[in-house]
Structure 1
Amino acid sequence: MFGDTNSLPIGGSVLLAAAAYAVISAFVTGPLVAERTIERGGWESSCRANLKDLLLAEESASVSESEVLPRFDCNSLLGLFGAEGRQVCRRHGNFEFRLPGMEQLEARQRQMREMRKRRLDAAISNVASRCACAAAVTMETRRIPFAIYAGSARLITPAPVKNLSNELQVSLGSPLCAAKG
């Protein structure tokens, strides 16, 4: 099957043991070390916090000025005329002018706010899933570097293991994990 191993400088049993060690490193100890390294680095908690902050910042930035309805009350209209305008409003009350169709605009605006809130809540609920996906994708795509890291008793540190946070960020932005958000 493998040919004659008697002519090799090392015995066949040594080759078989080395192959078994490589397979165990690639499929058992490498993923285990990868998982523990990711956990020790605090990836899950920092990823969740960063994604939540990012989602909240995107949501607050997405509210455009056209979505904000102007107020038509005494202070906003007559307050432009200085102290006299404000005095008129104080004397007669801060009455509000209701334009035709304003109720429909306000109802539509409330609907849009509720939809944005539901969408934001759904995205925030998927944050943990996206972070776990990034860790799983990194462990799977970088299996061999982690096997080398584990197999060498952490004496050899390949570049993907050194730059683990960058690898995790790349995996987080991958189409596989981005679809979870």
Structure 2
Amino acid sequence: MFDLNTLPGGGGLVLTGVAYGVFALFIGGQIIGARTIEKSRFLPRCEQALVLAAKQDAPTLQTPVPTPDCNSIIGMFAGPEGKQLCNIVEPLFQNPLAGQIEKQNQELKDAYNARLKNAAAHASSSCKCAVNVQLEDRMPWALYAGSARLITPSKIRNLDAELFAALSSPVCAGRFQ
């Protein structure tokens, strides 16, 4: 069997180091990671970015071609009798596509508003998912916490990029779509 007392500094030092490493891996790294992400104010920025991204997909609405009404054509030349005639034949001057275009525009607006509402409602959950995905990789956080923040792994140096990459990962991207 391996004798810890033969090591330089004794077995107590080795066991203390192992205990410190385990503490950094399972507890300290997670606490430091959560506080670092909170301090970076990622959650509010992420929620705002998701809502802004949803707003950029605004639908292009069609405008119906204006058609002259009866009064502007007949009423101008025929006077009061023309206005009475226009009351009878007004439906002939209406653009039949205008109603369809208005209906289609309203459907586009409703779908856009529903998408915005959905994005705002689920932005917080998606952003928290990205934070959890980032914190799942314990080793960089354990190294960062265990070294008293003297060693900063690249995953922590590029924290924003890593968090937004986690946000678009398959785990979080399709979460509420």
Structure-1-length-normalised TM-score = 0.76
Corresponding letter in the other structure for 2:11: G
The aligned counterpart of 2:170 is: 175
After TM superposition, list the pairs within 5 Å mapping 1:88-127 onto structure 2: 97-100=93-96, 102-127=98-123
Given that 2:131 and 2:163 are in contact with CA atoms closer than 8 Å, whether structure 1 keeps it comes out as yes
Is the contact between residue 51 and residue 123 of structure 2 (CA under 8 Å) also seen in structure 1? yes
Number of aligned pairs? 159
Is 1:128 matched up with 2:93?
Answer: no
Shift of residue 31, structure 1, vs aligned partner: 0.7
Contact 1:72 1:98 in 2 (8 A): no
Which one-letter code corresponds to 2:142 in the other structure?
A
Question: Which deviates more, 18-27 or 95-104?
Answer: 95-104
Gaps of 5+ in 1: 76-87
Instruction: Give, in angstroms, the shift of residue 162 of structure 1.
Output: 0.9
CA offsets per residue over residues 75-99 of structure 1, 9 Å max, x none? 9xxxxxxxxxxxx78x95xx99423
Provide the C-alpha distance between the structure 1 equivalents of 2:13 and 2:174, rounded to a whole number of angstroms. Answer: 46
* Partner residue, 1:23: 22
- Matches of 1:108 and 1:165 in 2, distance apart? 40
Deviation at 1:4, TM superposition (A): 3.2
**1:87-115: CA deviation from partner (whole Å, max 9, x where unpaired):** x78x95xx994233543443343233212
Alignment partner of 1:151 is 2:150: no
Aligned residues of 1:30 and 1:148 also touching (Cα < 8 A): yes
- Deviation track 1:99-135 (CA, whole Å, cap 9, x = no partner) reads 3354344334323321231122112211111111111
* Larger gyration radius, structure 1 or structure 2: 2
- Which AA in structure 1 matches 2:65? R
- Correspondence for 1:71 among 65, 68, 78: 65
Aligned residues with identical type, % of pairs: 34
Instruction: Write the distance in 2 (CA, Å) between the matches of 1:73 and 1:150.
Output: 72
Amino acid at match of 1:172: L
Unpaired segments ≥5 residues, structure 2: 77-89
The amino acid across from 2:134 in the alignment is: T
Secondary structure of 1:157 counterpart = coil
